[in-house]
Every structure is written in structure tokens, then in C-alpha cells.
A and B are shown apart, each in its own frame.
Chain A
Amino acid sequence: MAVEVPVEKWTGRVGEVRLGGDGCKRVTIGGANTLPFLKFEGSIPNPPAIAMEVWDSEPSGWPAALTSAWGDVTSDPAAWARKAVEYGADIVMLRLQSARPGMGNTGGAEAGIVVDRVLSAIDLPLIVLGPGIPEKDNEVLVAASRAARGRRIALGNCEEKNYRTIAAVCISDGHVAIAKTPVDFNLAKQLNALLADIGVPSDSVIMDPDTAALGYGLEYSYSTIECLRLAALMGEAMCARPIISHAGPESRHQKESRATRGVPAAWGDPAERAVLWETLTATTCIHAGADLVVMCHPGAVELVKFAIGKLMG
């Protein structure tokens, strides 16, 4: 008895988004017309990319496994970004944490300076995230956008309640908008439509359907990402954007990555644990369809890069 090899003929393709410019290294994500790594039935022009997270201020509340892995570079965003390049990042993600009211309440001027400093320190593409407070996001991300003209960075987050200013500055300065929605297929699709309506080109949007860490709802993220990817492959244009997943930042909040005392001995060494929980969060999202994962621990980055290398053949 013979079997017809069950190959899927998808009609859709994920759009490609290019980051970087101005003579510096470029990274393109997206572009696949099949599910992750199924190269026997489609093309996957770009491997999943890894962005490493850098803060504009000394991190507070990070697990010991992370602070010790990075050492003293965390006091200087430019040095930190350079170190991320050494550790194999494809992209650096700068979080403008100091713009938070409780953490310095810095404004546009400071944001412009730090973005400029980090961009001068590296020749990789950059992602800049605001503090997540609408008024502050609009202020600091506009400044970041201006400072990064020509480098085609990604700016986030555009959310349903606050996307116009960030989207507009992405259009005018030639950057990429990150569209963030809480773990939900329809909300992700809607926000892509809203961004398209106000004129953000389809090759300038990355969607962030939100990530929950391993053990903290990862399965919801998995299925949301997988559904978005399946819809894209079935030809749904408003789902055909590359997907970013914040596997690292979510993992560093979880107990299993943080706790050093008062947990069962069977949990193992805290440093190894931090690496593995972050790694499995990231690879699970990649197997669901994420095109870009944000990560924190250099050890986890090494493992995820290794897995991607094997799977891209």
C-alpha cells in the first residue's frame, strides 16, 4: 500500500520585513510560505531572528542568573548592546525603561541621546520599546524615531488604544511599527487592519500577539501564533505579518527563572534553570511560527541559535 506524501499546498505567504539600513547590517524576517521548518513543502527564505534585550538604565528586579551573566555592562546601554552583538544577537532591542515615572521619568531628549549612542555602538538593526504608558510612549518613541532616521528600526508598541502617533512617525521616518495585542487572534488581525487603514505599508509592520512564559499560559501564545500563521498561509492578508515574541522578557518574570531559595531541590541549579525555561519558551514560540524572538540570557540565545541552525538545515 502506498501513501501519497501529505504535503500541504498553502496559497498564502508571510510578508517580509527588512530592518536596518544606512550602510549597516540588514536583517529580513518573515517570507515563509509554509509552517516552521517544513522546507519539504515550501520556502523559508529567512531563519527566525534573535533580538537581545538591553535597557537604557541599570536593570532592577532582574534575576541573579541574568545580572551575573551580563556583568557590569548593564550600567551602560552602548556597552551592553556591543556585548549583545558579541553574544550573537541578530538585532538589539532597547527598552526605554527610564522613561517610566518611577524609574527616572526621562523624556524625549534623553531617549534621542540613548538611541543615538546605541546605534553608534553597533551596526545591527535596532528595536526600541517605550515604557508602555501612552503619553510617554508617544514622546520618547517620536524622539527615538528622529534619532534613528535612515537606520530603519522597529518601534513599539502600537496598541489598539494608542497607535496613531507611533504609526505616523514610522511612516514619515521609514521605520517599522510593532503592533501589540493581548493573546487573541482577532485583536491581532484588527490592529493590522487599523495600521493598514492609516497608511502603514504591509512591509513595515511586525505583530506581537503577546507571549506568556512556559508554565504561565505559553499554550495560549502557542495557539494564537499558530492560528495567525495558518491564517496567513491560507491567504488572510491581515495576518500575513511577521511575528515577534518576547520569550526572554516574559521568562525573566517567572518564578522558575528567579527563585534561588525556598524552592524544591528537584528544580536544579538556578543558573541552568533560568537558561532552560527561557530557551523552551522561545523555541515553543518559534515552532508555533514566531519570526523574531526577544531574549535575555546569553546561554539561552546560544541554545536557540543552535536549534534554529539545525532546523534550517
Chain B
Amino acid sequence: MPIKGTDVAKKLPQRKGCKDCGFPTCFAFAMKLASGGATVDKCPYLSEEIRAELEDALAPPIKLVTVGSGEDALKIGNEEVIYRHEKTFAHAPGIAVLISDKEDDEGVEDKIAKMKELQFERVGLTLRADLFALKFQSGEKAKYEALVKKVCDAGDAGIILISEDLGALFAARDICAGRNPLLYPITKDNLEQAIPLIKQSPTPVGVKAESVEALIPLTSRLKEEGIEELVLDPGSGNFLEVLRDQTLIRRAALKQNFRPLGYPTIVFPCFLAGDGLEEILTASMCVIKFAGIIVLSDLKKDSLLPLLVQRLNIYTDPRMPLAIEQGVYEVGQPKDEAPVLVTSNWSLTYFLVSSATEESKVHAFVCVKDTEGLGVVTGWGAGKFSGDSVGAFIKKSGIEERVKHRKLVIPGKVARIRGELEEALPGWEIVVGPREAGELPGFLPALARSLTGG
């Protein structure tokens, strides 16, 4: 567990009234340090030794590592929980696509193009892959360097350099050091040789060993040398070992505050899986189970979007309420002859209704009635989606001023409120819609035509 504020205070100089850190007392500063609201360097009176000790004790249990440069740099790590209901998973894993320098020009161009083209707009965000993983495989360094240059010139995506040959690895690093690439793999066999080379121009380093435990001496040694931008690969050999190793690393870092494993991870479904579909199954498990970077062999239309949406889902804030605010929501740009639908304020219900309406290609008003986050049927059962209450809501919603017709679509599952609702809303015609939101595309276009056609 992280260090307590009172223990931090004991290490501070306890100078009375200097306030150089911006806090009234050392104790106040210590409490702020422990909660992550201040940094140690604000106190100018600490010895080098104490400062290093405090910085180490106050560091998050999983280090934040940046791969790439500029605005789109990928940040991973800094995770605080094992289960996402406890607190938002902090940094979504980077999705990388592998390019070998043995691939032909056409294949390389295709992958570079897909990185640009396969971007998806969803809930106001742009979803896309993040990194290129460039593998030295041809044996010809010039070829590898040409690939690195080409990818660098093609855009801002982050870069992972993969080479067993340290000469090729660091020559490539020197080409793109400004892009802050991840160097991989640093192993027990090349560690000592690599250390001085890494230090020449520090960038993040991917450490590979044949097991979780075998990573420990490597990361400890690198840390001694001040190399701490690390990403871990425990060498998992299959699907099941990936799950085990990712779980163990996350637990060791968070439950035991075990520093040598307190780094984000990298997983290579591209090397583990037999085919593209198996690769996606492995990758999607990695999205849920703690990976920091996931390397795919290719970006494919069918599979990239679901993977990115899964990442978005898993990394959302779990405290987001399931209910959305009562009110009139617009789908498209509805005018005064657009259909009017009413549904409950359970967010899942609303998502389904609004996306099915969108799919219908009909501009419409979706009136969302507060049911305290219940679905329409459960809401009806609880008296929160009765004809009377829906009628009262429609009246005060202001929708009567926004449309010139008086037709209201209710969910088919609560067709029984129709009579009561007609009584509560004189002048309105209540139309029973489909039972499932998914059937709206077969229903709304005809209704919309009847409203415009008069």
C-alpha cells in the first residue's frame, strides 16, 4: 500500500513557517504529497537521499510510461485497481500493428493506410489504433532503417522497434529517437550490453523474460541504472498463460506494492495466435485483463471496431449513472413534423432506442421519462411509466410546442398504457410501436412518411 501522510511528514525538514512549498506547514504538505496533490520537488530543503526515498515511496504502484511523442503519445500504466467497479481503469491499452521489414512494399503501404483510414467516430470520440510495431527480420539493416523512416514520415503514430540484433535496434532508435519509440526486447542476455546504449538517448524499453519471476532481476537492474520507463513481457506462451501472467503482474504491483513488477505490460497476440480470429479473441481478453500494449498482426475492418469499442467500454468510469436525464432528446435534426417517441430513462434503453432511430434514417424526438433508471416494463411495474405519469411528463416536456402533429409512439412492451395515456393526453393519438428497439427501422420510416405526407 502507498505510504501514509504521517510517515511522509517524519521525513520532511519540519522548518517552521517557511511555506516555500506553498503549504502552511510541513504536515499539510505531507498530507498533500501522500494524496498525490503535490510533488516532492516543491520542498527545497530535502537532501538528495531523502528526496529520492520519498519519490520512490510516493510513486504510483504501476509506473506511468509514455510511448511516442506529441499530443497523441500513448500513456499506459498508473493503474490503481484490479476490478473496474472499484475505480476507473486509468489508461486504455495501446493497440499496435506489426510490420516486418520482410513484408513487401504493398503490404507495408496497406498497413500504413489502414492506420489512417480505420478511424471510427463514436459517442463524440475518435477510436483508432495507436502504434506501429516494426520488426527487424530481413537481416538487412538498411532495409529495416528504410521501413522505420517510411513509417515515421507517414504520420504521428507511436513506434515500437523490435529487433533481437542490438545493432539494428539502436541504429533504428537513432533514426527516430525524437519520436520516443519503445525498444524491444531487452532480455537477460543483452541487458548489460544494452544499458549504456539505452542511456545515450533514453526512450521506453520493453523487457522480456521467460516468466513473470524472471522479469524481476531485469527490471531491478535497469532501475539501478535509472532506466525506469519499462514495459513488461513475461513471455507468456499461450492464451491461458497470458491471462495468468497479466493477473499475477497486476496483483503483485497493486496488492503487494511490489516495485519490480510495477510497470505496464505488452502482449503479442500476433505471435501467439494461429489465425486472425484467434488473435482477436486473445486481444479482446487482453483488453479486459490488464494489458498495456496489444500488438496485432494486421488491422482488419471487421475486427478492429469491436475491439476498440470493447476497450472504450471497459475503460469507462464505472460510476457513470445508468440513468440519463429526463427530457426531450433529438435524433438527427427533427422538424415540426418529425415522429415523437417516448421511452424510459434507463441509459441502456435510451442507447438502443436512439441508435435504432438513427439507423432508421428518420429525424425524431425521443422523449425520455424519468423512471429512476428502470427499463420501460420494470418502470411500468413500479408505477413510473404509467399512462398518467407519462401523460403528465409529455405535457410539461414542451414537445407540444415543437411538433405540429399529435402522434406519440409508445414502446410495444407497454401497449397496455395506451388507454390511460389517451385519457391523460386529450388530443393526442397514441401509436403502439414495436416491442423491441431493434424493430424501429422497420416501423419509423412509414410513420415519418405519414406525418409529412399529411
Interface membership of B381, Cβ < 8 A: yes
Nearest-neighbour CB distance to chain B for A208, whole angstroms, equals 14
What A residues does B303 contact at CB under 8 A? 268, 272, 276
Contact of B84 among A3, A222, A279 (CB under 8 A): A222
Complex CA–CA separation, A8 to B122 (angstroms): 38
**Residues of chain A in range 186-224 having any CB-CB distance to chain B below 8 Å:** 212, 214-220, 222-223
**Residues of chain B in range 225-271 having any CB-CB distance to chain A below 8 Å:** 238-240, 243-244, 247-248, 251-252, 255-256, 258, 260-261
Given contacts A3-B256, A283-B284, contact A252 B438 (CB under 8 A): yes
What B residues does A183 contact at CB under 8 A? 322, 348
What B residues does A38 contact at CB under 8 A? 243-244, 247
**Residues of chain B in range 117-158 having any CB-CB distance to chain A below 8 Å:** 117-120, 122
Contact of B301 among A255, A269, A280, A288 (CB under 8 A): A269
Contact of A262 among B251, B352, B361 (CB under 8 A): B361
Nearest-neighbour CB distance to chain A for B218, whole angstroms, equals 11
Contact of A223 among B243, B310, B318, B439 (CB under 8 A): B318
Complex CA–CA separation, A219 to B289 (angstroms): 13
Q: Mark A246-290, 1 if CB is under 8 A from B, else 0.
A: 000000111110110010111111001100110110011001100
Q: Mark A38-75, 1 if CB is under 8 A from B, else 0.
A: 11100000000000000000000100000000000000
A interface size (C-beta, 8 A): 62
Tell which of A3, A38, A182, A227 has the most Cβ of chain B within 10 Å: A3
Contact of B256 among A6, A132, A182 (CB under 8 A): A6
Q: Do A100 and B435 touch across chains, with their CB atoms under 8 A apart?
A: yes
Q: Which stretch in A13-21, A108-116, A142-150, A303-311 binds the other chain?
A: A303-311
Complex CA–CA separation, A272 to B413 (angstroms): 31
Interface membership of B220, Cβ < 8 A: yes
What A residues does B358 contact at CB under 8 A? 255
What A residues does B316 contact at CB under 8 A? 219
What B residues does A101 contact at CB under 8 A? 415
Complex CA–CA separation, A100 to B301 (angstroms): 38
Residue of B nearest to A310 (CB): B239
Q: Do B120 and A266 touch across chains, with their CB atoms under 8 A apart?
A: yes
Interface size class of B (residues with CB under 8 A): 35 or more
Q: Which stretch in B23-31, B160-168, B370-378 binds the other chain?
A: B370-378
Complex CA–CA separation, A280 to B286 (angstroms): 12
What A residues does B119 contact at CB under 8 A? 266
Q: Do A217 and B351 touch across chains, with their CB atoms under 8 A apart?
A: yes
Q: Do A266 and B355 touch across chains, with their CB atoms under 8 A apart?
A: no
What B residues does A272 contact at CB under 8 A? 302-303
**Residues of chain B in range 170-197 having any CB-CB distance to chain A below 8 Å:** none
Given contacts A2-B216, A267-B305, A276-B303, contact A37 B240 (CB under 8 A): yes
Q: Do B84 and A219 touch across chains, with their CB atoms under 8 A apart?
A: yes
Given contacts A212-B348, A287-B288, contact A219 B313 (CB under 8 A): yes
Q: Do B348 and A216 touch across chains, with their CB atoms under 8 A apart?
A: yes
**Residues of chain B in range 323-365 having any CB-CB distance to chain A below 8 Å:** 346-348, 351-352, 355-356, 358-359, 361
Interface membership of A104, Cβ < 8 A: no
Q: Do B301 and A267 touch across chains, with their CB atoms under 8 A apart?
A: yes
Q: Do B256 and A284 touch across chains, with their CB atoms under 8 A apart?
A: no
Q: Mark B94-121, 1 if CB is under 8 A from A, else 0.
A: 0000000000000000000000011110
Interface membership of A4, Cβ < 8 A: yes
Q: Do A3 and B314 touch across chains, with their CB atoms under 8 A apart?
A: no
Interface membership of A23, Cβ < 8 A: no
Given contacts A230-B83, A310-B240, contact A3 B258 (CB under 8 A): yes
Complex CA–CA separation, A226 to B288 (angstroms): 12
Nearest-neighbour CB distance to chain A for B248, whole angstroms, equals 6
Contact of A268 among B252, B302, B413 (CB under 8 A): B302
Given contacts A220-B322, A222-B84, A252-B438, contact A40 B252 (CB under 8 A): no
Given contacts A266-B118, A306-B278, contact A214 B310 (CB under 8 A): yes
Contact of A303 among B261, B277, B413 (CB under 8 A): B277
Q: Do B120 and A264 touch across chains, with their CB atoms under 8 A apart?
A: yes
Q: Mark B288-304, 1 if CB is under 8 A from A, else 0.
A: 11000000000011110
What A residues does B281 contact at CB under 8 A? 279, 283, 303, 306-307, 310
What A residues does B421 contact at CB under 8 A? none
Complex CA–CA separation, A131 to B386 (angstroms): 21
Interface membership of B442, Cβ < 8 A: yes
Q: Do B348 and A220 touch across chains, with their CB atoms under 8 A apart?
A: yes
Nearest-neighbour CB distance to chain B for A127, whole angstroms, equals 20
Complex CA–CA separation, A303 to B276 (angstroms): 11
What B residues does A226 contact at CB under 8 A? 83-85
What B residues does A283 contact at CB under 8 A? 281, 284-285
Q: Do A276 and B280 touch across chains, with their CB atoms under 8 A apart?
A: yes
Q: Do B306 and A280 touch across chains, with their CB atoms under 8 A apart?
A: yes
Q: Do A253 and B216 touch across chains, with their CB atoms under 8 A apart?
A: no
Interface membership of B436, Cβ < 8 A: yes
Complex CA–CA separation, A216 to B351 (angstroms): 6
Tell which of A37, A39, A182, A253 has the most Cβ of chain B within 10 Å: A182
Interface membership of B213, Cβ < 8 A: yes
Complex CA–CA separation, A284 to B288 (angstroms): 8
Q: Do B314 and A269 touch across chains, with their CB atoms under 8 A apart?
A: no
Complex CA–CA separation, A258 to B437 (angstroms): 12
Nearest-neighbour CB distance to chain A for B58, whole angstroms, equals 20
Can you list the 7 inter-chain pairs with the closest CB atoms, starting with the nearest? Answer: A268-B301, A268-B302, A6-B251, A253-B438, A272-B302, A223-B85, A219-B313
Sample 11 A-B pairs with CB under 8 A, ordered by A number: A2-B213, A100-B435, A182-B346, A183-B348, A216-B355, A219-B84, A259-B359, A266-B117, A268-B300, A280-B306, A310-B240
Given contacts A276-B280, A310-B281, 16 further A-B contacts (CB under 8 A): A3-B252, A101-B415, A161-B378, A182-B375, A215-B122, A223-B84, A223-B318, A227-B83, A254-B355, A262-B361, A266-B120, A276-B302, A279-B281, A310-B240, A310-B278, A311-B240
